[in-house]
Structure 1
């Protein structure tokens, strides 16, 4: 299952944000537009951080399969920089990654 990217990476992030507002959790409850925006920005920030630290050559979500995406997210979650940033952000970044996996699984 590849990620379909219509109109580029930013459109994928926008689709993710819209999905969060419509349906984000196993319970099906929606997030506010503000919360959805924060999670979508978190995905972009995480990706930029990983590219800037030369851990990825391109955004981590531009993968050819769900398995590869999950592997990249597990790698990110074990990264010391990410762990520190996530702790300061009260786990917002790891929650954003979990939501992103759910989004991709439901695409």
Structure 2
């Protein structure tokens, strides 16, 4: 149930992204094919510089998140050769990037009608599955089940939170959450997969503690710290509040 702690992998072929970008520019935004080709030419040059910097294997279209895209551009923006080239080209490369960035973020999608979106419906190539290797610390499904049982199928952040009746348990649906993330296991001698480090959360609180704005996440983490710090000490984790926040709020 701690699936938010696993790598969130999302891949699409570069050909598919290119096709969607073209339809977005030409069919939805109504720009000319020559304008699209102008942007693509700029993105090819950007891709070459990103490849030389070790940011991509082949092209900018490989970058699978906005964070990766913006980081790669920030690196490129410090490359004096590229900056000079962009200036000589009347910012044609930054224009290509800015339009692709807007497309990737979906900034204009909220203004699209269903008629607009339908223009982007097209069969796309199915890529071969990617084989990924990454380290996963072992965790016990039994401990997760017991944690939710101990909480009587209630949310440890607020017992009034109501979800739905799960088919498997015939009880209110809850999720187990490691307070100190298992990704941090390498920093500790003792296992983080212990009762003291597990809480029962409703789906909203579980996602909130992972994905909300920092102020709200910090408030939740601080509350859990006060509730569990003595138990965590007994399990080998002696952490001050600030150190705890630094480790958890990653």
Report the TM-score range of the alignment, normalised by the length of the smaller protein: 0.7 to 0.9
**Structure whose alpha-carbon radius of gyration is higher:** 2
More off after superposition, 36-45 vs 93-102: 36-45
Find the partner of 1:21 among 26, 32, 50. 26
The equivalent position to 2:15 in structure 1, one of 10, 15, 18, is 10
The aligned residue for residue 94 of structure 2 is 94
Q: How far is 1:76 from its partner?
A: 1.5
| Residue aligned with 2:62, SS | coil
Deviation at 1:15, TM superposition (A): 2.1
1: CA distance, partners of 2:40 / 2:18:
6
| Counterparts of residues 49-88 of structure 1 (less than 5 Å) | 49-51=49-51, 53-58=52-57, 59-88=59-88
Instruction: Please give the alpha-carbon distance, in whole angstroms, between the structure 2 residues aligned to 1:21 and 1:38.
Output: 12
Deviation of 1:54 (Å): 3.8
Q: Provide structure 1 residue ranges, at least 5 long, that are not aligned to the other structure.
A: 25-29
Structure 2 distance, partners of 1:75, 1:101, is: 15
Bigger proportion of residues as helix: 1
Task: Give the TM-score normalised by structure 2.
Answer: 0.35
Provide structure 2 residue ranges, at least 5 long, that are not aligned to the other structure: 1-7, 110-250
**Which segments of structure 1 move beyond 6 Å, counting only runs of 4 or more?**
none
Distance 1:11 1:97 in 2: 18
What TM-score, normalized by structure 1, do the two folds share?
Answer: 0.74
Measured after TM superposition, the shift of residue 104 of structure 1 is 0.6
Across the aligned residues of Structure 1 and Structure 2, the Cα RMSD in angstroms comes to 2.4
CA gap of 1:97–1:57, structure 2 versus 1, over 3 A, is: closer
Query: Comparing both chains, which one has the higher relative contact order based on Cα–Cα distances under 8 Å and sequence gaps of 6 or more?
Result: 1
Name the counterpart of 2:31: 31
Provide the C-alpha distance between the structure 1 equivalents of 2:15 and 2:81, rounded to a whole number of angstroms: 24
Quote the offset at 1:40 in angstroms.
1.6
Q: CA deviation at 1:83?
A: 0.6
Shift of the 3–80 alpha-carbon distance from structure 1 to 2, 3 Å rule, reads farther
